[in-house]
Amino acid sequence: MLIIKAVIFDFDGTLADTLPVCFFAFEAVFREFDNREITTEEIKAMFGPSETGIIRENLMNSNYDKAIELYYEKYKEQHCKIVQINEEINTLISLLKTNGYKLGIVTGKARRSLDISLELLGLNDSFDVIVTGDDVKYPKPHPEGINIALKQLKVPNKEAVFLGDSDADILAGKQANVHTIGVQWLPNYQTIKFSVQPDEVYSNINEFFPALSVSKIKSV
């Protein structure tokens, strides 16, 4: 059995069903600046860097600053229409905080879009540490972001879990030597079948907290 003190989350597809609004904003950018339609799978293949990095690395039109501004404009404009507040997630976060767990986010999102989502979803003050794509040199699957979070939380890796919905999340967690949890509990998530097996997989939000409720999580 492992004694867990910190729970660290990925964001898109893990804490919030924000992948559709990300896709919408990227589609608008590539349509406007490159005059091309890109698919969801093409966008997923670009994931790793922050949104600004994705645009700078993949857009053929070099007017990156305007393209990035359009991304954030569309992201914020459509967020309330596309992304719903998830009461089960809010309850989970509340339960974890009430029971004394330190909470973190490690995401490839840029700080600007994450702040938009946290504000609109009412999660502004829920986390002890937040590491975004702007805060790291190496995006997931590199463990840099998780290691930064652990250092700031002052929690050793063996006392933390990392939850994510993608292969990159699980690989990052394993390289950081934390307990890895694959989640497929939101309507839209990145990985249908993990190529690297997480220590655990949850498809129901309400099943996760009971595994932690006595400050323990089963070891595989």
Q: What pLDDT tens digit does each residue of the chain (220 aa) get?
A: 668 999 999 999 999 999 999 999 999 999 999 999 999 999 999 999 999 999 999 999 999 999 999 999 999 999 999 999 999 999 999 999 999 999 999 999 999 999 999 999 999 999 999 999 999 999 999 999 999 999 999 999 999 999 999 999 999 999 999 999 999 999 999 999 999 999 999 999 999 998 886 545 543 3
Residue recorded with tokens 């919408």: 24
DSSP string, 23-34: HHHHHHHHHHHS
How confident is the model at residue 1, as a pLDDT? Answer: 60
How confident is the model at residue 211, as a pLDDT? Answer: 81
Q: What is the pTM of this model?
A: 0.93
Measuring CA to CA, which residue among 111, 109, 39, 31 is closest to residue 70? 31
How confident is the model at residue 137, as a pLDDT? Answer: 96
Per the residue annotation, which of 10, 12, 17, 169 is the catalytic one?
10
Told to judge if 10 belongs to the known catalytic residues of this protein, a careful annotator would answer yes
Q: Which helix (H) or strand (E) holds 183?
A: strand 179-183
How confident is the model at residue 212, as a pLDDT? Answer: 81
Burial per residue of 43-56, b for 16 or more beta-carbon CB atoms within 10 angstroms, e otherwise: beeebbbbbbbbbe
Residue recorded with tokens 């993990």: 194
Q: Are 162 and 176 in contact (CB under 8 A)?
A: yes
Measuring CA to CA, which residue among 156, 142, 210, 136 is closest to residue 6? 156
Could you tell me the two tokens for 118? 């946290």
Q: Are 140 and 168 in contact (CB under 8 A)?
A: yes
